[in-house]
Amino acid sequence: MIDRDAIVAAAEGEVRFDEPLRAHTTFRIGGPVDALAWPTGVGGVQRLCALAHARGWPCRALGHGSNLLVRDGGVRGLLVATTRLRRLERDRERGVRCEAGVPTSRLLHEATSWELGGVEFLVGVPGTVGGGLVMNAGTSLGELKDVTVEVTTVRPDGELRVRAAAACGFRYRGSDLGDGIVVAARFELRPGVRAAIVARIAAQREARARREPHGVPTAGSFFKNPPGDFAGRLLEQAGLKGRRLGGAEVSWVHANWIVNRADATAADVLGLMQVCQEAVATKFGVTLEPEVHIVGEAGREEAA
């Protein structure tokens, strides 16, 4: 059993217990977590990690809740929300320092205001800097690894660790940063003319608006692109657009987006994921891997 009083004391911020995670994910899906804390500073993250480590509780980060599917049985232990770590500042001529809870959209906006380019690929990419670093967020135009200088994480025992980008294990939609909780990073961008940066942003925003679903709960691109191909193309060619299971549906707009069409459960999404994987494997001999992080315990429906 978790010690509620100890968590509240360590967080020095808001804490909720048995909190349904559907309210904290862009998929609007997920069972309850034992404890969800919102520390307002890096020190709070350190204290919470140290407490969980000493007591043997599972502990992990929660950012904006995009690129995440929480199973219906919920999450045991402690989730540390980093969304209130919001410091963002310029670091000399080309550098930017920011904390993990800064939205990627704000990083893009502030960089543009400082006439710094190099993060235009973040247009339309949801979530926070911390989550983006863990998954090496990006598009065909670039990835966060391309501009990262160093990343600060809190280790499971509460100690800070600062590592250079080369030591972060960045790879396509992944990294080695999941061994702790990302709390801050330093980026190096490139000076540019604001009008040119704004034009690139506008073009990217228009392109994404045409090819992605809007106004419906989703975690974003569901599968990683296999080498030399696109998951969306394979799924569309396999006839999966519009395929539905319970409240989950393969988007008619883009086949690599699974959307929550009508109070979907995680079991619905996972069942539809399996349908998609089997169809693509049968038609093309390709195994699609989820890009979305899947966490938590199975609910009754999934277990059955």
pLDDT of residue 303: 59
**Residues carrying CATH 3.30.43.10, the chain:** 4-81
Three-state DSSP class for residue 278 = helix
Residue 206: what pLDDT? Answer: 87
Task: Select the CATH number that applies to the domain covering 4-81 from these four: 3.30.43.10, 3.60.15.10, 3.40.50.150, 3.30.70.20.
Answer: 3.30.43.10
Residue 194 DSSP label: H
Q: What is the DSSP string of 21-77?
A: GGGGSTT----EEEEEEE-SSHHHHHHHHHHHHHHT--EEEE-S-TTEEE-TT-EEE
Taking alpha carbons only, the member of 87, 120, 143, 91 closest to residue 192 is 120
- Tens digit of each residue's pLDDT (9 = 90 or more) over 46-72: 999 999 999 999 999 999 899 999 999
Q: What are phi and psi of 183, to 5 degrees?
A: -120, -20
44, 8 contact by CB (below 8 A): no
Which CATH architecture fits 88-196? Answer: 2-Layer Sandwich (3.30)
Residues of the chain with CATH 3.30.465.10: 88-196
Rounded to two decimals, the pTM is 0.92
List, by residue range, all CATH 3.90.78.10 domains of the chain.
214-299
3-state secondary structure of 103: strand
Q: Which residues of the chain have pLDDT under 50?
A: none
Q: What pLDDT does 139 receive? A: 83
Q: Which residues are catalytic?
A: 173, 221, 291
Q: Cα angle at 19 between 160 and 12, to 5 degrees?
A: 40
Please write the tens of the pLDDT for every residue from 82-118.
999 999 999 988 999 999 999 999 999 999 999 999 9
pLDDT at 304: 58
Domain 214-299 in this protein, CATH class:
alpha beta
pLDDT of residue 302: 67
